[in-house]
Amino acid sequence: MAGLLALVLCGCDQAQLDERQMSVVQTLSPIPEPVARESNRVADRADAAAFGAVLFSDAGFSKGGSHSCATCHDPARHFTDGKRVATALGEGTRNVPTIETVAWQSWFYWDGRADSGWAQARGPLLNPIEMGSTPAQVRQHVLDVHQDRFEAVFGPVPEDPEDVVALVGKALEAFERTVTPGAARFDRYVAEVRQNGSSDLLNESEARGLKRFLSDGCVNCHNGPLFTDHSFHNIGVPQVAKGGLDVGRAIGAVDVLEDPSNCLGARSDSKDCPELRYLDPSFPDWPLAFKTPSLRNLSHTAPYMHDGSIATLDGVLVFYSELPGTPLAGHRELTLEPLHLSDGQRADLIAFLKTLDAEADSGTTR
Residues 16-63 pLDDT 10s: 899 999 999 999 999 999 999 999 999 999 999 999 999 999 999 999
Domain ranges in the chain?
Answer: 8-33+183-243+285-354, 46-176
pLDDT digits (tens, 9 = 90+) for 231-270: 999 999 987 667 788 999 999 999 999 999 999 999 999 9
Query: Residue 144 above 70 pLDDT?
Result: yes
Interior angle at CA 305, CA 302 and CA 306, nearest 5:
115
The pLDDT score that the predictor gives to residue 239 is: 78
User: What's the pLDDT band for 15 if we cut at 50, 70, 90?
Assistant: confident
Q: What is the mean pLDDT of the chain?
A: 93
Q: Mean per-residue pLDDT for 207-230?
A: 98
Percent of the chain with pLDDT strictly greater than 70: 93
Encode burial over 100-129: b for 16+ CB neighbours within 10 A, e otherwise.
bbbbbbebbbbbbbbbbbbbbbbbbbbbee
Under CATH, what is the fold of the domain 8-33+183-243+285-354? Answer: Cytochrome Bc1 Complex; Chain D, domain 2 (1.10.760)
pLDDT digits (tens, 9 = 90+) for 315-344: 999 999 999 999 999 999 999 999 999 999
Q: Counting Cβ atoms within 10 Å, is residue 190 exposed (0-12), middle (13-18) or buried (19+)?
A: buried
CATH number belonging to the domain at 46-176, selected among 1.10.760.10, 1.10.1040.10, 3.40.190.10, 3.30.1490.20: 1.10.760.10
The pLDDT score that the predictor gives to residue 238 is: 86
Q: Mean per-residue pLDDT for 112-131?
A: 97
Query: Residue 7 above 70 pLDDT?
Result: no
Query: Residue 75 above 50 pLDDT?
Result: yes
Report the distance separating Cα 189 and Cα 209, nearest Å: 14
Query: For the chain, percent helix, then strand, then coil, each to nearest 5?
Result: 40, 5, 55
Are domains 8-33+183-243+285-354 and 46-176 of this chain identical in fold? yes
The pLDDT score that the predictor gives to residue 363 is: 56
